[in-house]
Every structure is written in structure tokens, then in C-alpha cells.
Amino acid sequence: MSKLTLNRRRFLGTAAAGTAMLASPAYLRKAYAQGGEVNIWTYNDFVPAAFKEQFEAETGIKINVRLVDDQGKQFNLLAAEAPNPTVDIMTVAGHRFLQFIESDLLAPLDTDRLSNWGNINPTFSESDWATIKGSKWGAPILSGMEVLAYNTDYVTAEEAETWDTLFSEKYKGQTAYVIQDMMSIVMLMMGYDGNMVAYMDDPEKAAAIVEEAKNFLIEKKPLVRKYYDGGAEVQQMFVNQDIVLGHSWNGPAAALINDGLPIAMSIPKEGSYGFVYTFNIANNCPNPDNAYTFLNAILGSPEIGAAMTKASGFISTYKGASEFLTDAEKKATSFPEEQLANLQFFRAEANEMKYGLVDPAVEAIKAA
């Protein structure tokens, strides 16, 4: 990983500006004076090492990172700790907000306390999923999407323009996907709203749609090599050539491309879903002031966003972050405009109904 060169003067400048701008910058003063710590649950490399070092030196606040590897575990852990969590900041995917919010695990984000909030690309910070119950719940940092990844030695770019290829006889036994995610995409392929927000008032229609998608995936079960769960799994399958195409998140696929493997990805014409990783503040967290200081600092410069992209393969939500990427990195983390037009975000409003129907369907597909 190339070294992160954070502009020290600019960093200080922003912090000072923030202090000057806010009417009551008590949290900053307190942080500077007291030091203390901030506890973070996040993925490997989501908090760049160089940033961590600099932040600790300048604020005296110690960053304790606890590495996590999945959303469900974070939820279980937090649920087990509530109502007195040890954590200040977590990393929740935007469409998983609701589950955390309804269990009273997240605190609403006071964006007025974040002078650098404006550094985030509004596509992400002001998107429809970002506001729930009238509040913001997290600061977007990285964006991912469901893509069709393929081995360019075997699959052509034309074939990768449609999800249908994933279910064709030609690639029998050479495909893989995450069933849960695929359910949403299959609904989209069939012309329905995979977020199910459109059917919130019509549960019968929703059930029928899920049933249709379920039957489709059961019918296509003989063609698939593997239902997988984690990014590392799909990467290994591509490396071992156990599969030549599969549904993937863009991050893991980008890492394969960056390593020089003959992999490419596309957003097929039927469309696909995107999601956003956000930093969130835990409800009743032990160090709320330090948490805000941290959030504001990490949003401070596009270089930090670029460093996160380099490490994870996901796309930065920061304005101007791509200027700090090499050409190869840019290529692995960008899509043609016409493909991006097919993308929409996952939404959480109908999650309870959706997953109430989808989870049993997933079990049924696995059991079939």
C-alpha cells in the first residue's frame, strides 16, 4: 500500500476552521484537553494506519480498533452489550441501518457537529436511504455494489451485459452467487422492485413476487457451483478457476483485477443494487465527544478516502478521492456512465417485510 501523505497543515486548518465555525465547540476543546479514547468496530484497513497515527498525535485521543468481519456479528455483539455498549463507532451498511435503529442500538447523527460533512459526495450523504425517521444515522465512507464479475479468458464483455448469462447452460457448474443478494437481483430481472418498498401496502403481491424469484432460483439450482457468503470465497473461486463468472461485490472483484488476474466486472443492463458502508455512533456510547471528533477528522481529506479505497477495493464516497488513485486503481473502481445509470441503492424501509419473506425463501432454496 502506498503511503498515505495527509496534508498536515490542511488537516490542522480544517480542525481550526471547525472550531471557529461552531458556536459551541465544547467537544473539541474537551478532546484536546482530556485526550481519552475512542472505540471503533470496523473492517480491516477501513481506518488507514497513517491517519490513525496522525489523529492520535494531534488530538491525544487513542483509537482502539476492533476488527470485525461481518454485519451480523456486529449486530449480535452490540445487542449483547446493549444498553451499555463499549463501542463508540461502528461500521454498518446503509441498508442494514433499520435493524440497528429499531433495536435502539444507534444514535442519530448530529451532522451540525461535523464541519467536514460537506466533503462527502451528496449522492451518498443525501440519498434516499440515508435519512430514516427524519435523522441521519451514519457518515458514508465507502460504497459498494452488486456486480457481475467474470473471467475475461472465458466470458466475453457482451455476455456479461446481462444477468441471464449467470443462468445459462453454457456456464453450468461454473457460477456462484450469494443467494440473499441474488434474490433482490432476480426480482429486479423480473421487473419488480427488489427493495419491495413498492409493495409495502400489498403483502400478498410481495409474497407472490418472492415466491416467483424463489422458484426461479430453485429451477436454476442444478447450474450453480456454489452459494457463497464472503468476498474471500468468491475471490478464491476465481483464482482456482472453479468458476468463470459470478455475482460479487465490487470490492473483492476490484482486488482481483488489481492483482493482475484476468477478471472484469459489469453492472448488467437489468440493473443492480448499491450499498454504502457508514461510520455510526452507538446509542449511549462511552465517548460521544471523541466519536464526533474522530468522524469529523476522518472526513477531513479526500486522500483518506482514497487510502480506504486502495485497501478495500470499494469506491470512496469522498469528493475528489479518485484524484489520489493510480490509473489502474481508478479502472478497478469505476464503471462506464451507461452502466452506472442502471444502479440503484438498497433501501431499508420494507426490510422487515422483505426479509420476513426472503429469509425463509433462502432456506428453501438451500434445502431444495
Partner 1 sequence: MTRGNRILLSCIYWAFVLYVFVPLILMVTMGFKDSKFIGFPIKSWTLDWYSGVFANAEVLSAFTYSLVIAVLSTLISVIVGTWIAVLLEGRKFWGRALIFGITVLPALVPGIISAIAFRIYARYLGIEPGMGAIIWSHAVHNVPFVVLVLMARLSTLPKSQTEAARDLGADPIIAFLRITLPYLAPAIMGASIFCLLLSFDDFVRSFFLGGYEPTLPVLIFAKLKSGMSPEINAIATVALVITAVLGIWAERFTRRLNKENG
Partner 2 sequence: MTFEASVRTEHGGTAPKTADRTFWGRLANWAPYRVLAGLATASPRRQFVILAALPLVWVLTQHLGPMLQMLRVSLTDAYPVAPNVQQSFTFEHYMKFFQDSLFWMPFFRTLTFAGVFTFCTLILTYPVAYFLARHVSQKNRMLMLLMLLIPFWVGEIVRTYAIMILLGNTGAVNLLLKWLGFIDRPIPFMYTSFSMGVGIVYLTALYMMLPLYSALEKLPKSFNEAAADLGAGAWTRFRRVTLPLTIEGIASGCTLVFLISTGFYATPVLLGGPSTTVFAETIAGFFHVAGDQWPTGAAFATIMFLGALLITVTFQKIMNSLRKGDVR
User: What span, in angstroms and rounded, lies between the C-alpha atoms of 368 and 360?
Assistant: 12
The owner of cell 426490510 is 351
Using the 8-state DSSP alphabet, how is residue 64 labeled? E
Of the candidates 256, 40, 245, the residue with the CA atom closest to the CA atom of residue 150: 245
Instruction: Determine the Cα–Cα distance for residues 317 and 139; give it in Å rounded to an integer.
Output: 10
Partner whose footprint covers residue 225, from partner 1, partner 2, none (CB < 5 to 8 Å by kind):
partner 2
Residue 256 interacts with which of partner 1, partner 2, none, CB < 5 to 8 Å by class: partner 1
Instruction: Please report, as ranges, the residues that interact with partner 1 according to CB under 8 A.
Output: 39, 43-45, 64-69, 73, 76-77, 80-81, 86, 230-232, 235-236, 239-240, 252, 255-256, 258-261, 311-313
Please tell me whether residue 226 binds partner 2 under the rule CB under 8 A: yes
* Contact assessment for residue 306 and residue 324, using Cβ atoms and an 8 Å cutoff: yes
Beta-carbon contacts of residue 293 (< 8 Å; ≥ 6 apart): 27, 28, 31, 38, 59, 61
364 binds, among partner 2, partner 1, none (CB under 5 to 8 A by kind): partner 2
To partner 2, the closest distance from the beta carbon of 274 in angstroms equals 20
Q: Does residue 86 bind partner 2 (CB under 8 A)?
A: no
* Closest separation in Å from C-beta 69 to partner 1: 5
Q: Are 121 and 137 in contact (CB under 8 A)?
A: no
Q: Is 262 in the site for partner 2 (CB under 8 A)?
A: no
Within positions 42 to 81, which residues make up the interface with partner 2, using CB under 8 A?
70, 72-73, 75-76, 79-80
Helical axes 302-312 vs 49-59, angle rounded to 10°:
140
Residue 133 sits in the site that holds partner 2 (CB under 8 A): no
Q: Which stretch binds partner 2 (CB under 8 A): 117-125, 150-158, 236-244, 342-350?
A: 236-244
* HSE-up (13 A, CA, CB side) for residue 247: 29
The binding track of 205-224 with respect to partner 2, each residue x by CB under 8 A or -, is ----------------x--x
Whether 270 and 342 have beta carbons less than 8 Å apart is answered as yes
Q: Name the site residues for partner 2 (rule: CB under 8 A).
A: 70, 72-73, 75-76, 79-80, 82-83, 99, 102-104, 173, 180, 221, 224-227, 229, 233, 236-237, 239-242, 355, 359-360, 362-364, 366-367
